[in-house]
Amino acid sequence: MDRMDDTLIDVPRGLTNVVAARTELGDVRGHEGFYHYRQYSAVDLARERTFEEAWHLLLFGRLPDDAELAAFRARIVAARQVPEEVEAVLPALARLTAGGDALAGLRMALTALAAADGFRPLYDEPPAARVEQAIRLAAATPVLLASLHALAEGRAPRASRDDLGQVANYLYLVTGSVPDAAHEHALSAYLTAAVDHGFNASTFTARVIASTGADLAAAVDGALGALSGPLHGGAPSRALDTLDEIGTPDRAEEWVRRTVAGGGRVMGFGHAVYRTEDPRSRMLREVAEGFGGPRVELAVAVEQRVQEALAELKPGRELHTNVEFYAGVVMELCGLPRSMFTPTFAVARTVGWTAHALEQAADGKILRPSARYVGPAAPQPLPARRATAESEAGVGAGGR
């Protein structure tokens, strides 16, 4: 379709601060250090409610009462059962991702799950079926991840326990132990805080795919692909690597000065949106301090000294800890191995991705932005075809 050049609007690189769609799911107010799911503070939800309650809120627009929560938990337990056909392919997927990349295995496993369940394009599914598929994908994701992790370690996956909630069941599948209330709450707080966070790269990817009417698993797989990029995911384990490298608080200042002078990144500090302290980091620091211990003491001391050094080295920039810094500490306290830190983030974010995909599919409009062409002026006449030495000699063209 023809268009007039003057209808194009130049936007910042990376689409920073560009409004691409309307959403009722939540918002991030970076200059205030605040974000919310629907009408509630996301941090308040993480502190005071369960992961399933926040999940219900995003899907259905309200917090559940006791009866609704019990019914929703029963739906989740039923939805996390993995079909035998999918269980049969998991060993092969684990071998294909022998480097321990559980997210790569998850992308293939979710495709297999959608095929086994007969997912159709969102365009062809009624709203109730879309919701069931959203619950199915988000409920099965932690089970699939734990199974792939077990197979990568050379052991048989554990079976889900129907008497455990989503968070406790995930910890049991990965660690082999039923968590106590404190550890279950700690991981629930992290997962709830990570469910959604505006139109980040993976969420936007999910919405773009959903806008085409593709099936819901395709939207989640696309989001996982975006999350696999090091600029978007993977920092929690790297933040712990930083703590290991620093070792003791008295070495923090020298370490950060050397890192900044060498052009390196200080993992776990700074955020693309927040210009104040990341509210997720503040909440997770409280969770970690509730456990205490040498690791937590080191993290708190390093946070303070690194921020003091960064304030001097990068004046005018607000470089507080972001969610990844204390997320790694909390997940380690809960017994999760570092290889499962980013997959655990995906356990939470799958809830947000599916909610966004359903909202975008309901809109019915394909996302199709324009690009401003900045190459050589067009049209230009095609140049005469240049003959090669072989064609002039007739080689290969029957000339002999």
Look up residue 376 and give its DSSP letter.
S
pLDDT digits (tens, 9 = 90+) for 2-25: 344 556 777 777 777 777 889 999
Q: What is the pLDDT of residue 399?
A: 44
Biggest distance spanned by C-alpha atoms of the chain: 87
Query: Can you identify the CATH homologous superfamily of domain 37-233+339-363?
Result: Citrate Synthase, domain 1 (1.10.580.10)
**CA angle in degrees (0–180, nearest 5) for 93-137-205:** 90
Q: What is the pLDDT of residue 271?
A: 60
pLDDT digits (tens, 9 = 90+) for 254-294: 887 887 777 767 666 666 665 677 888 899 999 999 999 99
Whether 289 and 246 have beta carbons less than 8 Å apart is answered as: no
Q: What is the pLDDT of residue 101?
A: 86
pLDDT digits (tens, 9 = 90+) for 136-154: 999 999 999 999 999 999 9
State the residue for tokens 């990817």.
205
Separation between Cα atoms, residue 118 and residue 114, nearest integer Å = 6
pLDDT digits (tens, 9 = 90+) for 99-123: 668 999 999 999 999 999 999 999 9
Q: Where are the domains of the chain?
A: 37-233+339-363, 235-332
225 burial (CB, 10 Å; 0-12 / 13-18 / 19+) is middle
Half-sphere exposure of 392 (CA within 13 A, CB side): 5
263 burial (CB, 10 Å; 0-12 / 13-18 / 19+) is exposed
Q: What is the pLDDT of residue 3?
A: 45
Element (H, E) at 253: helix 252-261
Nearest Cα to 139, choosing from 163, 169, 111, 118?
Answer: 169
pTM over 0.75: yes
Q: In what order do the strands lie in the sheet with 34-37?
A: 26-29, 34-37, 40-41
Confidence of residue 203 (pLDDT cuts 50, 70, 90): very high
**CA angle in degrees (0–180, nearest 5) for 174-245-311:** 110
Look up residue 195 and give its DSSP letter.
S
Which residues carry out catalysis? 271, 324
Q: What is the pLDDT of residue 268?
A: 66
Nearest Cα to 270, choosing from 223, 321, 234?
Answer: 321
Confidence of residue 126 (pLDDT cuts 50, 70, 90): very high
Query: Can you identify the CATH homologous superfamily of domain 235-332?
Result: Cytochrome P450-Terp, domain 2 (1.10.230.10)
* Size of the chain, expressed as the number of residues it contains: 400
Separation between Cα atoms, residue 67 and residue 275, nearest integer Å = 41
